[in-house]
A and B are shown apart, each in its own frame.
Chain A
Amino acid sequence: NAGVTQTPKFQVLKTGQSMTLQCAQDMNHEYMSWYRQDPGMGLRLIHYSVGAGITDQGEVPNGYNVSRSTTEDFPLRLLSAAPSQTSVYFCASTGLGDSQYFGPGTRLLVL
């Protein structure tokens, strides 16, 4: 199993540009989530999904959209990037026993 994969690893955007961060898992986990991590801080929940077709907001959802058309994929969309969205983004999926598995992260810089 590849576990949780994320692409791209790095991205630079200009203010106002849009992009999609990809996340995929091959463990057949129903629950997936997106977090952002700012320097020197813990992770904050952006959006999560309890299964295909179901999504909900986390702590910091503004400026981000998600969809869950399949169990495997959970993309995160930035509709109009802002410098405040410069961060490291982590995708996670939750297995049996509530253990969360994290992807390697996407480092985003918005100029």
Chain B
Amino acid sequence: GESVGLHLPTLSVQEGDNSIINCAYSNSASDYFIWYKQESGKGPQFIIDIRSNMDKRQGQRVTVLLNKTVKHLSLQIAATQPGDSAVYFCAENRADTGRRALTFGSGTRLQVQP
């Protein structure tokens, strides 16, 4: 079925390097995407979002890129820090369902090596 998925289950990077986490979605009706960070034992924490009328959005040390042509979403983290170690989820919201609930991907674990 239609779903949001991730290319890599685990990503290991060196402290100070840039990290890129990828996500693919299959529903062309998706118009809103969010990246969440989840640390062990905690609920998902909002990082950054992007709407389908944008290609790029920047936050503090994070950038989300949206390629609607290939239905691909990525999260870039600059100068990755040990505190960035967590599981990252992309999620989509589909306007065609009229819902404001999200469909989540399975997650990518980011491991930052000191």
Q: Which residues of A contact B (CB under 8 A)?
A: 4, 31, 33, 35, 40-45, 48, 50, 58, 90, 94, 97-105
Report whether B100 and A31 are in contact in the complex, using a CB–CB cutoff of 8 Å. Answer: yes
Report whether A100 and B43 are in contact in the complex, using a CB–CB cutoff of 8 Å. Answer: no
Report whether B32 and A42 are in contact in the complex, using a CB–CB cutoff of 8 Å. Answer: no
Q: How far is the CB of B16 from chain A (nearest CB, A)?
A: 28
Q: How far is the CB of A106 from chain B (nearest CB, A)?
A: 10
Report whether B106 and A99 are in contact in the complex, using a CB–CB cutoff of 8 Å. Answer: no
How far, in angstroms, from A103 to B44 measured CA to CA in the complex?
Answer: 8
Q: Which residues of A contact B91 (CB under 8 A)?
A: 42-43
How far, in angstroms, from A33 to B49 measured CA to CA in the complex?
Answer: 19
Cross-chain pair count, CB within 8 angstroms = 55
Q: Which residues of A contact B101 (CB under 8 A)?
A: 31, 33, 45, 48, 58
Q: How far is the CB of B91 from chain A (nearest CB, A)?
A: 8
What 0/1 readout, one digit per residue, does chain B (93-106) give for beta carbons within 8 Å of chain A? 10000011111111
Tell me whether B61 is interfacial, beta carbon within 8 Å. no
Report whether B106 and A103 are in contact in the complex, using a CB–CB cutoff of 8 Å. Answer: no
Q: How large is the interface on B (under 10, 10 to 19, 20 to 34, 35 or more residues)?
A: 20 to 34
How far, in angstroms, from A58 to B103 measured CA to CA in the complex?
Answer: 10
Q: Which residues of B contact A104 (CB under 8 A)?
A: 42-43
Q: Which residues of B contact A33 (CB under 8 A)?
A: 101
Q: Which of A4, A40, A100, A103 contacts B34 (CB 8 A)?
A: A100
Shortest Cβ distance from B43 into A: residue: A102
Q: Which of B4, B43, B103, B104 contacts A103 (CB 8 A)?
A: B43
Which residue, of A44, A58, A94, A98, has the highest number of chain B Cβ atoms within 10 A? A98
Tell me whether B89 is interfacial, beta carbon within 8 Å. yes
Given known contacts A41-B107, A99-B49, is B44 in contact with A90 (CB within 8 Å)? Answer: yes
Report whether B102 and A105 are in contact in the complex, using a CB–CB cutoff of 8 Å. Answer: no
